[in-house]
Amino acid sequence: MKKIIFAILLLATCSPVFSSVVYVTSSQSSADYVVYVTQYSTQANLIVRKTDNEALAMTNKNYWYFTDNSTTADFTIYITEYQTQANFIVYFQ
């Protein structure tokens, strides 16, 4: 229940989760969000599209641009292998 309330509050207050410049970190403790990637859209909390265009990610909903520079990212994510550890379950279109 805590995860559901947290996710709703986070989604309501943090629009960068929907469209953003994202940095993937190898350290879970340094990530803003822990993400589990699913192969099924029906299991996802977020459905996002990857883009190679940073401007597109900053202006359109549900587009993520992955950067190699953590300082230019809107937020950092750690991709986990375990769904139970995730703040969000993401499906990439």
Amino acid at 76: T
User: What pLDDT score does 85 carry?
Assistant: 96
In the predicted structure, residue 76 carries a pLDDT above the cut 60: yes
Over residues 13-71, the pLDDT tens digits come to 444 455 689 999 999 999 999 999 999 999 999 999 999 988 888 887 789 999 999 99
User: What pLDDT score does 61 carry?
Assistant: 79
User: What pLDDT score does 62 carry?
Assistant: 86
In the predicted structure, residue 9 carries a pLDDT above the cut 70: no
**Closest C-alpha among 32, 35, 75 to residue 57:** 75
Which residues touch 28 (CB under 8 Å, ≥6 apart)? Answer: 34, 78, 80, 85
Per-residue burial over 22-55, b = 16 or more CB atoms within 10 Å of its CB, e = otherwise: bbeeeeeeebbbebbbbeeeeebbbebeebeeee
